[in-house]
């Protein structure tokens, strides 16, 4: 009887340990600073540590908060804590267009993922080349996530099945890159879908989104 009780207790401890390990993020302030010190800027140290991606302009990018014990507190990609918005924002830079969406993750003091808002497809950079060829570069937050190949289908019936590449602009971010011939079109849509595993929760999710791009107007418009 005593042996069976001991075995039962050990099983409970193992199950609890496995469940806990699935949820805790391994990212801490020290690990982050060591790995990304040349890609981020420390913006505050009162009550913990707050860092921001240098990115392109230090405005659009990842924003990290760490507790005083060094565990990850939150991650935001252009997300306002006081305004829960699902809007995407657009900027034009000559023949290029940037689109970025708010995304956020929140952790407890032990590093357990409590919640997330929106989806981790955080940024797109679109460049319209000569002859109305459109280059898409789509960015996905990759911390504690395992993505399948990214499936793309455009409104002019082009299909892509792409492996993610590690990005050099934003931290903990991966991207796909592809061209679409959109000659003669006013607008083109890229429909994005992918299945990914959230390692913290040990669960799979399906991500679906759409990227619209206004391009080369038809003659007479």
Model pLDDT for residues 62-105, shown as the tens digit of each residue: 999 999 999 999 998 874 444 444 444 555 556 677 776 778 99
Q: Which of 169, 176, 177 is nearest to 58 (CA)?
A: 169
* 160 located within any domain: yes
pLDDT of residue 147: 98
pLDDT of residue 102: 74
- Given a cut of 50, the residues of the chain with pLDDT beneath it are 1, 5-21, 79-88, 220-221
* 16 located within any domain: no
* 136 located within any domain: yes
Q: Parallel, antiparallel, or unpaired for β 103-107 and 96-101?
A: unpaired
pLDDT of residue 55: 85
* 220 located within any domain: no
* 120 located within any domain: yes
Residues 52, 61 contacting (CB under 8 angstroms)? yes
pLDDT of residue 87: 46
pLDDT of residue 40: 95
Residue 26 exposure: Cα atoms within 13 Å on the Cβ side: 8
> What is the spatial distance between Cα 199 and Cα 203, in angstroms, rounded to a whole number?
7
pLDDT of residue 17: 42
CA 129 to each of CA 51, 134, 169, 212: distance values in angstroms, whole numbers, following the listed order: 35, 6, 22, 16
The secondary element (H helix, E strand) that includes residue 133 is: strand 133-141
Total of domains in the chain? 1
* 33 located within any domain: yes
Residue 199 neighbours by CB under 8 Å, 6+ apart: 22, 144, 145, 146
* 1 located within any domain: no
* 4 located within any domain: no
Task: Give the residue numbers spanning the domain of 48.
Answer: 25-81+89-214
Whether the predicted model's global pTM rises above the 0.75 cut: yes
pLDDT of residue 57: 77
């Amino acid at each position: 009887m005593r042996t069976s009780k001991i075995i039962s207790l050990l099983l409970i401890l193992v199950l609890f340990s496995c469940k806990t390990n699935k949820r805790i993020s391994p990212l801490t302030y020290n690990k982050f600073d060591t790995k990304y010190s040349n890609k981020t800027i420390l913006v505050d140290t009162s009550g913990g540590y707050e860092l921001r991606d240098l990115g392109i302009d230090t405005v659009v990018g990842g924003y990290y908060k760490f507790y005083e014990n060094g565990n990850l507190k939150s991650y935001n990609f252009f997300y306002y804590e006081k305004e829960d918005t699902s809007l995407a924002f657009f900027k034009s830079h000559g023949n290029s267009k940037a689109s970025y969406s708010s995304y956020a993750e929140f952790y407890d003091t032990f590093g357990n993922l409590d919640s997330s808002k929106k989806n981790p497809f955080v940024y797109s950079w679109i460049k319209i080349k000569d002859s109305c060829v459109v280059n898409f570069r789509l960015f996905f937050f990759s911390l504690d996530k395992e993505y399948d190949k990214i499936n793309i289908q455009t409104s002019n019936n082009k299909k892509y099945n792409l492996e993610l590449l590690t990005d050099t602009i934003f931290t903990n971010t991966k991207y796909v890159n592809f061209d679409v011939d959109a000659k003669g079109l006013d607008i083109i849509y890229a429909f994005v879908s992918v299945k990914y595993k959230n390692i913290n929760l040990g669960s799979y999710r399906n991500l679906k989104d759409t990227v619209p791009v206004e391009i080369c107007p038809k003659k007479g418009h």
